[in-house]
Every structure is written in C-alpha cells, then in structure tokens.
Amino acid sequence: MKKNLHPLYRTVVFQDVSANKGFLTRSAVVAKDTVVWEDGKTYPMVKLDISSLSHPFYTGQQKVLDTAGRIDRFKKRFVASEGKTVDRKVAKTQTKRLVHVGHTAKREKVLSTAVKKEDKAAKKAAPKKAPATKQA
C-alpha cells in the first residue's frame, strides 16, 4: 500500500449521549476527544446524538417529540374561524395570456423551414419522371 494515502483505521469509542452508554469498535473516523475505557486503555471518542442504544426502533420505546403538531394547529384555526373559509380576491381574467408554443394561430412571419402541406400535395400530384437510361 502507498504511504499516507489511506486513513488511520483504529479502535474508537462511540458514546451515545442520550443513553449515556458507549461501545468500542474499529473505525477510520477522526475524533477530537479521548476517553479511558473499561480495560484501562485510552481511546479516541466520538459523541453520537442517537444510536441503536437509544433509537426507538431498537429499544421499543416510542418518544413523542412534537406535542402540538400541524394537525392540532389546523384544528385550532378551524375552530376559531367557525369553519368559514376566507374570501379571496378574484384574479383578473381579462389579462393577456401567453400563447402556447404549439398554438396554431396565424403568424405574420414563417418561423419554420419545414415543407408545407400544399407543397407536399403538389409534389404527390406531379407526374413522375422516367428513369434515366445509359446511352452507349
């Protein structure tokens, strides 16, 4: 292996702050803190907000974080307005609308160089030329 290319892979302590527990494993993560582990050795320590030691899926305990959620706030506003809707100003309908790109309105200028329908019909109706023969 090339030197100074790969990260330092070492034993690190991951400390779950919410559960106040830690576990020892190997990692290449950069750690600023150190801690003396149960075996008496000093290891780098990384603090975690949540891990399998405190996550509700693994512990089976559900934590409620949002006590006044969006639904509760909506119900409060609905009760305060007695179920009435707010009247809004009607948008002006007489404003100019943008023409869709594919619109078939007549234009003063021809924007396309494609063959017109009339030209196609004239080409079909024109008599076919006889194939040229080689003369010796």
pLDDT of residue 117: 79
Q: How far is C-alpha 24 from the geometric centre of its chain's CA atoms?
A: 35
Mention every residue, 6+ apart, whose C-beta is less than 8 A from residue 36.
42
Give pLDDT tens digits for 8-27. Answer: 899 999 999 888 899 999 99
Percent above pLDDT 90 for the chain = 24
Work out the number of other CB atoms within 10 angstroms of the CB of residue 24: 14
Confidence of residue 110 (pLDDT cuts 50, 70, 90): low
pLDDT at 52 over 70: yes
Six-digit token string for 50: 């949540």
The three-class DSSP label of residue 33 is strand
User: What is the residue type of 60?
Assistant: G
- Predicted TM-score (pTM) of the model is 0.43
- Lowest mean pLDDT segment, chosen from 27-31, 35-39, 103-107: 103-107
> CA 23, CA 10: separation in Å to the nearest integer?
14
Q: Residue ranges of the domains in the chain?
A: 10-53
For position 90, what pLDDT does the model report? Answer: 66
Confidence of residue 44 (pLDDT cuts 50, 70, 90): very high
